[in-house]
Structure 1
Amino acid sequence: MKSGLSRSLAVLAAMLLTAGCAANQPEQELSAEEIGIATPLTDKPGDPVNGAKLVTTRSKGNCIACHWMPIGTFHGSAGPNMLDAMQHNERSVGWIRQKIVNPKVDNPDTVMFTFYSNEGKSNIRKDWQGKRVLEAQEVEDIIAYLLTLRNMKPETAQQ
């Protein structure tokens, strides 16, 4: 069951899309959760090279703690294999952005951390309270890296 806040964020995302924030995307009947956050968090495009660094950096994204990716070592298996997920999933960039910013919007029970949003964080160290793990540009950089996985040939990935 979704919380009132989750519903509010979903409605806000739908309103933003209706207002033209995703004018370049094809018209489709998508739920707010599928739309995600259509508008980039910054005006600067994401840097996939920096994104690749962030997904393996313990003090930042550290995505490989839970996800297998074709870079880094000591991958986790609690979350989906990101190479498979990116190649077999036609989710929008806005949906990917939402999963990084606050994955609890469409799945309040997920164990995935909110990396940009400060909402719903509990049981965290005092020095991290009220702080974001990732800055806006870093979110966009990780998205840019993840999008490179859509075109990667699985046989070239180190597994």
Structure 2
Amino acid sequence: MRALAALLFVAGAHAGDVERGRALVADRSTSLCLLCHSLTAAGDVNQGNLAPSLASAARLKPAELRERIADMRRFNPATVMPPFRSTEGLRDVAPAWRGRAVLTEQQLDDIVAYLGTLAP
């Protein structure tokens, strides 16, 4: 347990809640995950098909997944995925969102916890 706590501290993460993460992924007004991603490789007509299935996220370590959701631009500068924890380098941001990250640290950790439960 001590090793897990140290890992979470090093990653800048908090303990994530799987059920809150599930709700956030499904919420089309907060995270918008399902706008581009599907939950399974088979897809769903009510989910996105522009990006990889979220089930493939389980292949990544939690810290790697967290970094990608926080700001995918670190890995692919041309990505269309929004930087959910960054406010730097954005343009055409609505006044209500200027200087505000889309997700809180806790919400990000909840989503990572949920995605870790999905089967590839």
TM range (shorter): 0.7 to 0.9
Bigger relative contact order, structure 1 or 2, given CA contacts below 8 A and separation 6+?
2
Which amino acid letter does the alignment assign opposite residue 77 of structure 1? Answer: N
Identify which of 28, 41, 50 aligns with 1:78: 50
Compute the RMSD of aligned alpha carbons. 2.5
- For structure 2, the residue ranges without an aligned partner over 5 or more in a row are 1-5
Cα distance, 1:117 vs. partner? 1.3
Identify which of 80, 96, 105 aligns with 1:127: 96
8 Å CA contact retained: 2:34, 2:48: yes
Larger Rg: 1
Q: TM-score scaled to structure 2, two decimals?
A: 0.81
Matches within 5 A, 1:70-109: 70=40, 74-83=46-55, 85-87=56-58, 89=59, 91-109=60-78
**1:112 aligns to 2:81 (yes or no):** yes
Distance 1:145 1:40 in 2: 17
- For structure 1, the residue ranges without an aligned partner over 5 or more in a row are 1-22, 25-37, 155-159
Distance 2:16 2:12 in 1: 9
Cα distance, 1:78 vs. partner? 1.0
8 Å CA contact retained: 2:57, 2:65: no
Q: TM-score scaled to structure 1, two decimals?
A: 0.63
Look up the SS of the partner of 1:138 in the other structure: helix
Cα distance, 1:119 vs. partner? 1.7
Distance 1:101 1:74 in 2: 25
Percent of counterpart pairs with the same letter?
34
Cα distance, 1:122 vs. partner? 1.6
Counterpart in the other structure of 2:33: 63
Counterpart in the other structure of 2:114: 145
Distance 1:128 1:41 in 2: 23
Which amino acid letter does the alignment assign opposite residue 101 of structure 2? Answer: R
**Corresponding residue pairs, total:** 113
Runs of 4+ in 1 over 2 A off after TM superposition: none
Counterpart in the other structure of 2:23: 53
8 Å CA contact retained: 1:104, 1:114: yes
